[in-house]
């Protein structure tokens, strides 16, 4: 029963999304307020209907209703209840329903939080959201209905959830990522509403910016969590694989980052308007493109859902309407919009141009790397694949000018910046950067020009400049009282930049100094990786409740000083005849140590796998700091004020 | 600023859409394989059910057949067993090439033939057995020579031992007609004694 109710709720939500599109546009066309006023309650109702529908599917999973095909295909009665619930978004249909839940949640949030906006603008924004909703609701109802029943012949029990998906990371990774993807519908709706009205003032940018920040925050966390999950669950060592689906999430992130920066220019200087609008459209277009690539089967990846050309065709048609339509509108309307502001060559505006150029070059590289194999094949030139070395080498090069500009940017004023006042602080920053990074790298190696040194120089440069900039601000405000005067969005910027610096250092150090070794050891033997000596102190037999096995005890020394003890096990489960390796991991801020116990060899000796991964945690720490920066900026007071003109 | 500049994003997007559209309809199953139109590579591998017996490419001559690369560890392969079995009932000759996953001896995974035979026998008893015989490619040498990128993959080989067609992914009622046309053509050729 509740399953059918869930389906009906979804149909109702589709009807509501039609109403949400029609009423406000009709009202804004006829200059009548009543239809526009309907938009807000419609948006909230649509969310409630969708939430109920999502609840209904979750309920079917919770109660093991295997007459629902989607449940039978993705869950079974032996799964613990929390994995049954997360199985809701474990496959195509359910994840689309979650996509709808997020989309309607954003729409309702806009309806509730954007009340200070002029009514017509509100109506248009919600109308565009409604239009996007129509496309997705119809897609789910027509092509991916998760509520389909297999009556009268339903299975007694379901299939197993992919074991890789039975993990905490899987519980929150897709929802966060979807929140980010779908979140870009809001800046997109703002951009289209502004194109329709032809008004792009500072207020518009100020209203749109918190939404761009929120979407970016979720996307950042989602990507980071995916990377962390891959590292933990999909085999040790890898944290980014340049897989097409990872790239599909990375592209909106890069464009979204560019958008955050140009929105601040549009907000504070009233310029870069056409560029900002294009970025807002592109960020959402790339989210949609990502959905298309993943769900149509055009690109093959470990993440791909089962492919279906009909679904692909629908999504492509939708992409054409939404993106093609908005780019046409853009081309027609944007011609007449003029930016008035003037600025000199050395100004924050120009530096932010630089930021955008590098971010978009990076996007283009990822885009071409992802789509080129497809184009190549369709041109009849044969199958090729583009792998890690291509992306890595280009990103190493792009990072250099990007980080250098990033260190400079916050110091430079709008309009025009005289060079002389910056010479002294930057001489100081350069010296501090050189001293710290050379000192840092000398802990690990002699002074050779390699990735580690480059990463440290760039990371420390950004850090020093960010910290010094805060110091300089405080001095100009007159000491510690200045702390209160610094806006939250300024702190947000600082955290975002520090996060980037931490990430760069993490990537460079991990890539340079990671060591992986397979060794054969007797009791008492020592193996040395980097500065760490692993001593195998004991191996003994284990007898668990349902398994037999062996355990190894290792002491780890750093130049004679014992730093940790590792306990690794190898278990054999006689019933399922499965061997499980319980690896020992010692994680800390500056390195992860990893030991897995292998086979017993004659001697007696044992095969062991030993990893040292310096600074790998910094990669995710950087992501968390960036997301924290976005969160701080979101709470800036000025996003809660009414429009400046009022 | 020139007005046409504002049309660049639209034009670029439409250009991309064309490729996405054609990408939708190009069958990913028709993954290219350089071995098509070449002779089966020479091999001498054990029969999985009867390891004392060695199978070579010459043993398979005389009748066109499907060479199906599979493994019990591969869910898609297991899913297609049922349909392949129904093809066997229609008289299609199907030879299995068993894709043995690499074992990591340092981690206690050792190749164990009796266990593998038991797993295979159980799987085939459950899902149906489409195979006239199964070739055990323990070290994946033939799989390497064939340029296989994953499982399942299927090669259509003619009576003279020449590979005529290759496809990636499962064989199912939707894509079988296409494959069947190729197969029936080869059957006709072999009856007519035509050497292509």
- Which CATH number does the domain housing residue B63 bear? 3.40.30.10
Which residue did the predictor score with more confidence, A302 or A154? A154
What residues of A are in contact with residue B107 (Cβ under 8 Å)? 570, 579, 581, 596, 598-599, 607, 609
Contact B9 A327 (CB under 8 A): yes
At A231 the pLDDT is 76
At B175 the pLDDT is 80
Q: Is the pLDDT of residue A374 over 70?
A: yes
Indicate whether B6 belongs to any domain.
no
Q: Is the pLDDT of residue A133 over 80?
A: yes
Indicate whether A275 belongs to any domain.
yes
Indicate whether A560 belongs to any domain.
yes
Indicate whether A431 belongs to any domain.
no
Alpha helices (runs of H) in chain B, residue ranges in sequence order: 8-25, 75-89, 113-127, 141-146, 176-192
- For the residues A69-83, what does the mean pLDDT come to? 80
Indicate whether B11 belongs to any domain.
no
Q: Is the pLDDT of residue A401 over 60?
A: yes
Q: Is the pLDDT of residue A324 over 70?
A: yes
DSSP A321: I
The widest CA-to-CA distance across chain A, in whole angstroms, is 89
Is the CB of residue A150 less than 8 Å away from at least one CB of chain B? Answer: no
Confidence of residue A304 (pLDDT cuts 50, 70, 90): very low
At A268 the pLDDT is 86
- For the residues A54-72, what does the mean pLDDT come to? 90
| Paired sense of beta strands B44-47 and B133-137, if any | antiparallel
pLDDT in tens, A306-318: 456 678 888 889 9
Which residue did the predictor score with more confidence, A148 or A385? A148
Indicate whether B164 belongs to any domain.
yes
Contact A335 B6 (CB under 8 A): yes
At A126 the pLDDT is 95
Confidence of residue A607 (pLDDT cuts 50, 70, 90): confident
Residue A342, CB-side half-sphere exposure with 13 Å CA sphere: 0
The distance of A325 to chain B (nearest Cα, Å) reads: 9
Of A250-264, A445-459, A474-488, A553-567, the poorest mean pLDDT is in: A474-488
Strand order in the sheet with B163-168: B54-56, B44-47, B133-137, B94-99, B65-70, B153-157, B163-168
Is the CB of residue A288 less than 8 Å away from at least one CB of chain B? Answer: no
Mean pLDDT of chain A: 86
Indicate whether A77 belongs to any domain.
no
Query: Smallest Cβ distance to A375: which of B19, B28, B107?
Result: B19
What residues of B are in contact with residue A598 (Cβ under 8 Å)? 104, 106-108
Indicate whether B43 belongs to any domain.
yes
Supply angle C-alpha A361, A366, A367, rounded to 5. Answer: 90
Across the A:B interface, residue pairs with CB atoms under 8 Å apart total 83
pLDDT beneath 70, residues of chain B: 1-2, 25-35, 102-110, 193-196
Indicate whether A496 belongs to any domain.
no
Indicate whether B7 belongs to any domain.
no
- What string of DSSP letters covers A610-628? EEEEETHHHHHHHHHHHHH
Is the CB of residue B109 less than 8 Å away from at least one CB of chain A? Answer: yes
Indicate whether A75 belongs to any domain.
no
Is the CB of residue A605 less than 8 Å away from at least one CB of chain B? Answer: no
- For the residues A519-534, what does the mean pLDDT come to? 89
Among A437, A411, A443, CA closest to A424: A411
Q: How many residues belong to chain B? A: 196
Indicate whether A423 belongs to any domain.
no
At A302 the pLDDT is 47
At A578 the pLDDT is 62
At A165 the pLDDT is 57
Q: Is the pLDDT of residue A645 over 60?
A: no
Which residue did the predictor score with more confidence, A166 or A161? A166
Q: What is the crossing angle of helices A388-408 and A451-477, to 10°?
A: 20
Structure tokens at A456: 């440290």
Among A172, A176, A166, A163, CA closest to A83: A166
pLDDT in tens, A555-591: 999 888 999 999 988 877 766 556 677 778 888 898 8
Handedness of CA A278, A357, A625, A287 (dihedral sign): positive
Decide: A127 and A16 in contact? Cβ < 8 Å: no
pLDDT in tens, A471-525: 888 888 777 777 777 889 899 999 999 999 999 999 999 988 888 888 889 999 9
Is the CB of residue B75 less than 8 Å away from at least one CB of chain A? Answer: no
Which residues in chain A (89-128) have CB-CB distances under 8 A to chain B? Answer: none
At B196 the pLDDT is 46
- For the residues A27-41, what does the mean pLDDT come to? 89
Is the CB of residue A157 less than 8 Å away from at least one CB of chain B? Answer: no
Distances in whole angstroms, Cα of residue A462 to Cα of each of A193, A221, A238, A421: 37, 22, 26, 19
Range of the domain at A247: 167-320+346-393
Among chain A residues, the shortest Cα distance to B34 is held by: A382
What is the C-alpha separation between A81 and B77, in angstroms, rounded?
A: 30
At A644 the pLDDT is 43
Indicate whether A251 belongs to any domain.
yes
Handedness of CA A142, A317, A189, A304 (dihedral sign): positive
Q: What is the crossing angle of helices A616-634 and A202-233, to 10°?
A: 150
pLDDT in tens, A425-442: 999 999 999 999 999 988
Is the CB of residue A375 less than 8 Å away from at least one CB of chain B? Answer: yes
What is the C-alpha separation between A413 and A395, in angstroms, rounded?
A: 28
What's the structural domain count of chain B?
1
What's the structural domain count of chain A?
2
């Amino acid at each position: 029963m509740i399953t059918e109710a869930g389906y009906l709720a979804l149909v109702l939500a589709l009807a509501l999304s039609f109403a949400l599109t029609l009423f406000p546009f009709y009202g804004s066309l006829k200059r009548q307020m009543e239809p526009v006023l309907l938009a807000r309650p419609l948006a909230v109702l649509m969310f409630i209907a969708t939430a109920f529908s999502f609840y209904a599917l979750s309920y079917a999973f919770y109660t093991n209703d295997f007459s629902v095909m989607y449940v039978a295909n993705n869950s079974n009665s032996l799964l613990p209840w929390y994995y049954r619930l997360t199985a809701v978004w474990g496959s195509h249909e359910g994840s689309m329903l979650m996509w709808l839940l997020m989309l309607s949640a954003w729409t309702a949030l806009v309806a509730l939080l954007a009340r200070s906006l002029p009514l017509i603008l509100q109506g248009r924004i919600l109308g565009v959201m409604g239009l996007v909703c129509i496309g997705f609701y119809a897609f789910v109802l027509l092509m991916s209905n998760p509520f389909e029943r297999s009556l009268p012949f339903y299975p007694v029990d379901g299939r197993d959830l992919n074991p890789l998906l039975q993990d905490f990371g899987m519980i929150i990774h897709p929802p966060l990522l979807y929140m980010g993807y779908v979140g870009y519908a809001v800046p997109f709706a703002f951009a289209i509403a502004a194109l329709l009205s032809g008004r792009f003032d500072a207020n518009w940018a100020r209203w749109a910016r918190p939404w761009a920040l929120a979407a970016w925050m979720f996307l950042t966390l989602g990507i980071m969590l995916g990377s962390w999950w891959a590292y933990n669950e999909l085999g040790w060592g890898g944290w980014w694989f340049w897989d097409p689906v990872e790239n599909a999430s990375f592209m909106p992130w890069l464009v979204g980052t560019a958008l955050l920066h140009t929105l601040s220019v549009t907000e504070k200087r009233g310029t870069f308007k056409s560029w900002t609008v294009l970025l807002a459209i592109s960020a959402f277009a790339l989210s949609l493109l990502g959905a298309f690539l993943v769900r149509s089967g055009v690109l093959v990846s470990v993440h791909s859902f089962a492919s279906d050309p009909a679904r692909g065709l629908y999504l492509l048609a939708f992409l054409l309407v939404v993106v093609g339509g908005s780019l046409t509108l853009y081309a027609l309307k944007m011609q007449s919009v003029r930016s008035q502001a003037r600025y000199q060559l050395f100004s924050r505006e120009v530096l932010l141009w630089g930021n955008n150029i590098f971010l978009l070059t990076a996007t283009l590289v990822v885009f071409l790397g992802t789509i080129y194999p497809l184009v190549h094949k369709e041109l009849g030139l044969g199958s090729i694949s583009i792998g890690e070395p291509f992306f890595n080498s280009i990103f190493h090069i792009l990072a250099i000018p990007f980080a250098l500009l990033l260190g400079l940017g916050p110091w430079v004023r709008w309009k025009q910046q005289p060079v002389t006042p910056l010479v002294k602080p930057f001489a100081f920053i350069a010296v501090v950067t050189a001293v710290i990074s050379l000192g840092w790298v000398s802990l690990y190696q002699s002074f050779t020009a390699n990735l580690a040194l480059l990463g440290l120089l760039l990371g420390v440069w950004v850090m020093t400049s960010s910290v010094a900039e805060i110091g300089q601000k405080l001095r100009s405000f007159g000491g510690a009282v200045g702390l209160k005067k610094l806006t939250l969005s300024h702190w947000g910027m600082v955290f975002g930049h520090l996060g980037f610096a931490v990430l760069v250092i993490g990537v460079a150090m991990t890539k340079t100094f990671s060591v992986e070794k397979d060794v054969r050891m007797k009791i008492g033997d020592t193996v040395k990786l980097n500065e760490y000596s692993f001593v195998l102190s004991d191996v003994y037999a284990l007898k668990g409740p349902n398994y037999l096995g062996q355990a190894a005890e290792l002491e780890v020394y750093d130049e004679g000083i014992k730093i940790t003890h590792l306990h690794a096990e190898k278990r054999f489960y006689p019933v399922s005849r499965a061997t499980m390796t319980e690896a020992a991991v010692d994680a800390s801020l500056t390195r992860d140590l990893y030991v897995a116990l292998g086979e017993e060899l004659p001697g007696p000796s044992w095969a062991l796998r030993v990893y040292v991964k310096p600074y790998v945690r910094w990669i995710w720490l950087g992501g968390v700091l960036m997301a924290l920066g976005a969160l701080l900026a979101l709470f800036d007071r000025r996003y809660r004020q009414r429009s400046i003109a009022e | 600023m020139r007005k046409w500049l504002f049309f660049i994003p639209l034009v670029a997007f439409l250009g991309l859409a064309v490729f996405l559209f054609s990408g939708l309809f190009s069958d990913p199953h028709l993954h290219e394989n350089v071995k098509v139109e070449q002779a089966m590579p020479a091999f001498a591998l054990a029969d999985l059910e009867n390891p004392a017996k060695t199978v070579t490419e010459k043993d398979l001559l005389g009748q066109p057949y499907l060479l199906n690369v599979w493994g019990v560890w591969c869910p898609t392969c297991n899913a297609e067993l049922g349909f392949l079995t129904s093809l066997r009932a229609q008289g299609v000759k199907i030879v299995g090439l068993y894709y043995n996953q690499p074992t990591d001896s340092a981690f206690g995974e050792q190749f164990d033939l009796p266990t593998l035979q038991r797993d295979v026998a159980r799987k085939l008893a459950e899902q149906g057995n489409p195979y006239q015989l199964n070739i055990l490619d323990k070290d994946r040498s033939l799989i390497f020579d064939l340029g296989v990128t994953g499982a399942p993959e299927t090669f259509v080989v003619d009576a003279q031992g020449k590979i005529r067609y290759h496809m990636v992914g499962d064989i199912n009622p939707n894509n079988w007609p296409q494959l069947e046309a190729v197969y029936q053509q080869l059957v006709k050729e072999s009856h007519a004694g035509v050497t292509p």
